Amino acid sequence: MAEQAVREGLKRSILLRLQALRRVGASAPREAVALLPVLRQWQAARLEASFVDVLADPAMHAAGRFFLSDLYGDRDFSSRDRDLERIMPVMVHLLPGSLLVAARDAIGLHVISQALDLRMSTAMAERRWRRLDVERYGTVYRACGLPRLRARQIDLVVAVGRSLDAAVRRHGVHRILRAARLPARAAGLAELQGFLERGFDAFDRLGGAERFLARIEAGEREVSRRLFAAHPAPFGP
């Protein structure tokens, strides 16, 4: 009974986050939405450069690439999120709790990232900026403000990593994921299945996630601190 109550609580949390994500998107100004690809492509390139040491480390490469493509990337995650909402009543009874927690935190991260990105792209639209450089990025970052929400964004990045690491450590999770591959595709849930498999496989290769997560957390908190402080080299050493 206790485990079922936990699972139902996770289901409600995920569905509430998906509803929040829809509200964020529905209220966005058209000009801001049009500039999102410009902003996200710039951010993706910045992160690729910031993660160069992670990607060069054979032990951390796969996890770094997963973070860049599935958590931080400039991809459209709407298909994955629709999958989650549609399959949640079934998924909550099939997946290990650690993967449900990872799904919850990934959606929570997407809600915050979407809201912050839209505030930044709105600031770009107000200034009639159609391209970014380091100085302009810092300007719209500070115009967006919300330092506590920025800190929460980083908290959730780390939380997703810890949940995936916990799933790796649980016996039988890998077998459950593999067994779900064909049914997931048949049900039209390939994007969600791919997200979970990529995350699990990446963290399985780490052999323990703390060093990787400490690097990501420390690096991104320092970048945020420098951006808010108008540091002339926010992404530099």
Kindly list the domain boundaries of the chain, sorted by start residue. Answer: 2-228
Instruction: In whole angstroms, give the CA distance from residue 1 to residue 9.
Output: 12
Q: What percent of the chain has pLDDT over 90?
A: 44
Write out pLDDT tens, residues 163-222. 888 888 776 666 766 766 655 565 555 666 777 788 888 988 888 899 999 999 999 999
Higher pLDDT, 135 or 101: 135
Residue 156: is its pLDDT beyond 80? yes
**Predicted local distance difference test score (pLDDT) of residue 69:** 87
**Predicted local distance difference test score (pLDDT) of residue 114:** 87
Among 10-24, 48-62, 75-89, the range with the most confident prediction by mean pLDDT is: 48-62
3-state SS assignment for residue 66: helix
Residue 98: is its pLDDT beyond 80? no
pTM of the model: 0.82
Residue 123: is its pLDDT beyond 70? yes
Higher pLDDT, 107 or 66: 66
Helices 78-94 + 97-127 axis angle, to 10: 160
Instruction: In whole angstroms, give the CA distance from residue 150 to residue 144.
Output: 10
Q: 48 falls in which pLDDT band (50, 70, 90)?
A: very high
Write out pLDDT tens, residues 141-153. 999 999 999 999 9
3-state DSSP: the chain helix, strand, coil percent, rounded to 5? 80, 0, 20
Instruction: In whole angstroms, give the CA distance from residue 206 to residue 212.
Output: 8
Instruction: In whole angstroms, give the CA distance from residue 105 to residue 83.
Output: 16
Write out pLDDT tens, residues 61-89. 999 999 998 887 666 555 555 556 666 66
Average pLDDT in the chain: 82
